[in-house]
Amino acid sequence: MAFLHSFSGNRTRCNCIALLFAALCSTGSVASSAMTQELPSGEDWLNHVKQGLQPYWMMETAQGIPMGNFPTFRCDDGSVLNVNQPCSELDKSWISPYFDRDYTRMKSRQIYAYGVIYHLTGNEDALKLAKSGVEYLLTHLRDKKHGGFVTFTKDGEPGLEWQQRTTQDQAYAIVGLAFYYYLTRDPVVEQALIDQQKFIFDHYKNTTTNDLLWVIKDGDEQSSKQRELVAQLDQINGYLLLLTPLMPKSVQLKWREDLYWLTDQMVKQYYSEDEQRFYGAVHHKAVMMPDARHNDYGHTIKAFWMTYLVGRYFDQQGWQALAKQGMRTTLERASYLMPTEQAKPYLSQSLFSQWQGLDGVPTWKAGKYNYYISSWQWAELDQAAMTVNLFDRSMTNQLYYTQNQFMDVWVDHQYGGVGLEPKRTKAFHWGNGYHQFEHALVGYLTARQWHNKSAQLYFAMPSNYSGKIEPYYYQGDIESRKELGKLAGFNGLKKQLISFTNVTP
């Protein structure tokens, strides 16, 4: 819970001072802080989604005008930003310069959020919102002349020349489409995904450096000389890993080749064996330093997590071994004990009463020199720890504290949702529902397996679909598959509830 959050990513150049929660706290062993505890159950995660996250994203103000044109900027109470009288949480120097931009990536991430709500709860209104977002993206935000998607619109017109759009934005433009396809196998969305993947690898693949370019042409404070981890990584977690096994056989071979090549180059060029971490960028020594942008534990743990999952998909034992060790090393580095009294102002009375006898509360920090962490970094660390815990349960104590803190401290229990900082700054040009809902989905799947119960997930598919169906990034055996009726407005798709057992990473 080191809660002075600096938000990085191409997540712009913001230095977000949220809560001065941690004066350099002492590191310590998580295992010694408490006896093994029970992790939150699958039901706890569903309640977290329904009561903690969903209310903010199901508000009418989140749905856009027209529906599906989801707003980039919303205040913590759910209201849409008024640029003439901005709410204090958005009236910050690293956010306000972008008020006149409406970002495609944020609409796509919100589609993902609605998809997860339906996937976990069966809420058909959420699926309708996801569909409206998909239709808006495909109709209004594709660049029909050059290919790909526009990065943002400004006064209704596309922003940036097409060569100035980052590969990361091109990946996140379809993260919602990818999840919607995973749920529905919609053929129109399938073709859009195929076209976008081809566009990215045709135009951004750099045969000189043997990786993907950041931008093709300088502009918007970005340089074509940049070689960025997220240019590679976010193709993998944005769509390639989830969808490659689901693609038609005529397309799957090419996607497999590209996924293998990209992971191979990411490991070869961005991973440091000596430091056991991934570099956030490699175009200059300065950008490879531990305190440089994207060199935080959040980006490194996501790169290890993806490397492991891709290695499992290809049965590449070397990648799996490297990533298992890398995840364990990074999680150990990122964990520390916060003095319990220091945590008191941010914990509910219920949690504090349970933990007040501890010498410290196990929590996460963002980097080697940074005890302050953002919600997306917390989510990435948790998700990797959940995965590791399916191997050997070595992360159970840490997860008991960090999962409960996420549900308690990070969630805005008045309006719903999770912010960049606890309960605050929830919807802006890089902050949206994506990370909090992926965290909930992975939490639910791993909790059901940890408690030896089947995981029940809702899909929307044709009755005769006989292709591959798996629980998100994981593997599992289908225990049962029930049709729950036709979904109105979805071209004959049926609501299906599928139960998975033996969910494994």
What's the structural domain count of the chain?
Answer: 1
pLDDT in tens, 55-89: 999 999 999 999 999 999 999 999 999 999 999 99
Give the residues across from 481 on adjacent strands. Answer: 498
Name the one residue in this structure whose structure tokens are 């003439």.
84
**Is residue 394 in a domain?**
yes
d(CA 388, CA 305): 9
* Residue 317 pLDDT: 98
CB atoms inside a 10 Å sphere around CB 249: 6
**Is residue 26 in a domain?**
no
**Is residue 349 in a domain?**
yes
- Model pTM greater than 0.75? yes
Q: Kindly give the parts of the chain with pLDDT less than 70.
A: 1-36
**Is residue 15 in a domain?**
no
| Token couple for 351 | 């949690």
**Is residue 358 in a domain?**
yes
**Is residue 274 in a domain?**
yes
* Residue 369 pLDDT: 87
Contact 406, 378 (CB under 8 A): yes
Which residue segment(s) compose the domain that 259 sits in? Answer: 31-504
- Say how far residue 468 (Cα) sits from the centre of its chain: 23
* Residue 33 pLDDT: 41
Q: Minimal CA–CA distance to 323: which of 261, 391, 255?
A: 391
d(CA 385, CA 22): 23
Q: Minimal CA–CA distance to 216: which of 206, 230, 229, 228?
A: 206
End-to-end CA distance of the chain: 27
The values of phi and psi at residue 418, to 5°, are -125, 140
**Is residue 18 in a domain?**
no
* Residue 36 pLDDT: 55
**Is residue 8 in a domain?**
no
pLDDT in tens, 18-64: 333 333 333 333 433 444 578 999 999 999 999 999 999 999 999 99
Give the residues across from 478 on adjacent strands. Answer: 500
CATH of the domain at 460: 1.50.10.10
| 248 upstream amide cis, omega within 30 of 0 | no
